[in-house]
Structures are given as C-alpha cells and as structure tokens.
Structure 1
Amino acid sequence: MINTIIFDLGGVLIDWNPEYVFLDAFNGDKEKTAWFLQNICTSDWNENQDAGYPLAQATEDLVNKFPEYESYIRLFYGDWEKMLGGAIDGTVFILDKLVKSKNYKVVALTNWSNETFPIAQKRFEFLQWFEGIVVSGDEKTRKPFKDIYDITLKRFNISPENTLFIDDNLRNIEAAKALNINGIHFKNPEQLIEDLKIYNIHIS
C-alpha cells in the first residue's frame, strides 16, 4: 500500500541540460559539445558539486587541470541558469493530481547544488507543492549513496515498503530498491501514468 511518493526533479519535473549552453558555445557542433561534456565538464564532476562541493572551487580545480578550456569551463556555472529548460508539463500535471488527492505524502529528493537550487525555486512554482524537498547539496551527500535515502525516510517519517520513488536515473532507482523502496524508472509522463497503475495509482 503506497502512502508516500518521492519525486526526483531534474529530468522528471524540470528539463535541465548542459547542452543548452554548450551547443551555443560550440556554434551548434553536437560532436564538440558531446566530447566536452564527456571529457571536461563531466557528469561525475558536476555531481561532486551536487554533494556540496563549492562551485567556485570546482571551477578553479578544472581550469587548473584544463587551462586551454578555461573560457568554456567557466560557462558551466557562469551560464548555469541557461541550462534550465521549462517544466516537464506532463509530470507537473501528475504531481498536481497526486497532491490534490491528499491520498499521499508527496516529497522530493534531488541531486542539486545548494548554490543553484534557489534559482529553480524562484522559477518553478510547483516546487512549493511538496511537503518537503531533500537537496543533496544541503546534505553533503547524493544519490545513489545510502545516506541520502536514509535521511529522506527519517525526515518525513516514512517506511520504505510504503514508498514509491520516481527517478530518471536507473542507478538511483536500483539503489532505492536495495533499501526496499519501490521504484519507477521515469522515461516520460505518459509512461509514468501507466507505471503508476501497477501500484493502483490512477491519474485522470
């Protein structure tokens, strides 16, 4: 019996993509953009900041390592706000229905720098709908590490067996399932509606 639903944010409710900045920086060259994000400003590097490492220090670390890419490296957090696309409207619709039903405790668990998260909070009104949001940058740890799931369960007084976690990263879902938290690997809002039916949650 599901009584709590945990949403990831980026890639589930919010469209966030570094390509929005770097495709422009590399004049639309998709290959250069992909190479840069796979080899210089990597997802692993960015996730370190999601766990609370200071953005300014992370930038200087990388500039020292790859001085020839300094101007591009500084764009990552300098133009970070441009990486935010819009809301993923279909998922926001689902969130709205779940909150208004009052049948579930609805919270969020996000890998996000505590330095940039306030920008998203100002932009997206639906972030106020949650009973609470666990931000990895505040906790100095991140998904898929066990600590952040334990923090979330304890903070909102929820039991894993009665909880459903929705995330677009399969790695994070598998980590949650290892702790007996039910999980849905998010692909798109239409698929989410179908997957929720498995848990007897119907969106109309």
Structure 2
Amino acid sequence: MLKNIIFDFGDIFINLDKPAVFRNMVPFGYSNYTDELDFLAKQYETGLISSREFIHKLNNLYPKASRKDIVEAWNSILLDFPEHRLEFIENLKDKDSHRLFLLSNTNDLHIDYVIETMGEDRFKRFKNCFEGFYLSQQVKMRKPNTEIYKYVLNENSLRPEETLFIDDTKENTDSAEKLGIQCWNLQVGKEDITELTQRL
C-alpha cells in the first residue's frame, strides 16, 4: 500500500529552462560544459561552498561576466510556478491520504530567487504542504546518490515499498528504484504532476 510520496521540485512543480544558464553565459566565454564546471556546481548544490565562493569561482572562469551577469544567468533556468500545481499539492495535503515530502537538488541562489519571484506567501503555501522539505545544499547530499534517499527514508521511518518518488531525471529515479522505492520518471512536456491522482 502506498503511504508516502516524495516529490522533486524543478520541472515537477516549477518550470525550468535547463539550457538557459549556458545559453546566457555564451557572451562571456562559455563554450562547453567541463568537468571543472560540473564539480563546481555539485559542490555548490551540496552546500560545500557558499554563494559568494561559487560566484567568485565562476567569475574567475569567466572574467568578462560581472557578478550580476553570473547571478542572472544562473537563475535564468527558473521559470514560472503554475498556480494549478500549487493548488494540486494543497488539495493533496488536505486529503491527508499520504505523507508528503520534497527532495530537491538545488542551491541558495535558486531558492532565494524562487521565493522572490513566487512571493513569500505562495512559497510558504507550497512548503507547508510537506512534512519534510529536503534541499541538497542543506542536507549536504544530492541525487542520484542513494545516501540522500536513505536519509529521507530513515529520518521519517518510511518503508521503500510504501513510498513513491517522482522526478523528471531518469538517473535519479533509477537510483531510488535500487532501494525498492516505487518511482515515476515524469516526462516533462508530456505529463504533469496533476495527473498523479490517476496513478494513486
């Protein structure tokens, strides 16, 4: 019996334009995604460096870009948070049929921007829908590392077979499935989180 649902955030609730960051950094010298950039992004997502350090290191890589240029490019991935999805998760919470959790690979700059663009009231409405709200930079782990799923399961005494994890990235759902967690690898543009009720 399904008792628990763990949701990703980006492209599940908030719309993303994933190539936007790189597209907007081209004028400042970006040409291709390197191991150095990947390492830097993962350090930031797991809270191992601060926003100031992250921007400083990017600035060293792309000296033509100002701090403002870097922050704007970094946040350009984040689009709108449709009201129908917020109402959906609020209605699901009100039904009290499942324990609800959020698990997101993100960072401080993105969360600050989300709060600013959504507005504090809407963000609080969203956050209040979840029993646990797990952000990678706060727990110092990120998907698809299985340790982050084990952490959420153990912290809340969740049984994997009673838990559904929803994420748009197949690598993330594949790793969760290895622990016995049920998964929905949501296909962005073809499926919407509001269709979840048809699957429960």
Question: Normalising to structure 2: TM-score of the pair?
Answer: 0.76
Q: Match of 1:71?
A: 64
Q: Match of 1:46?
A: 41
Paired-residue identity, %:
24
Q: What residue ranges of structure 1 are gaps of 5+ in the alignment? A: none
Q: Match of 1:110?
A: 104
Map 1:171-182 to 2 at 5 A.
Answer: 171-182=171-182
Q: Distance between the aligned counterparts of 2:81 and 2:13, measured in 1?
A: 6
Map 1:29-178 to 2 at 5 A.
Answer: 36=31, 38-39=33-34, 42=37, 45-52=40-47, 53-64=49-60, 66=61, 69-72=62-65, 74=67, 75-77=69-71, 80-89=74-83, 91-114=85-108, 116-121=110-115, 123=118, 124=123, 125-178=125-178
The question of whether the paired residues in 2 share the 8 Å contact of 1:121 and 1:127 is answered with no
Indicate the RMSD between aligned Cα atoms, in angstroms.
3.2
Question: Normalising to structure 1: TM-score of the pair?
Answer: 0.75
Q: C-alpha offsets along residues 4-43 of structure 1, whole Å, 9 cap, x if unaligned? A: 100000121112336556656658xxxx99x646349955
Q: Distance between the aligned counterparts of 1:57 and 1:48, measured in 2?
A: 10
The question of whether the paired residues in 1 share the 8 Å contact of 2:21 and 2:75 is answered with no
- Residues 155, 3 of structure 1: alpha-carbon distance in 2 compared, 3 angstrom cutoff: same
Q: Match of 2:184?
A: 184
Q: What residue ranges of structure 2 are gaps of 5+ in the alignment? A: none
The question of whether the paired residues in 1 share the 8 Å contact of 2:20 and 2:73 is answered with no
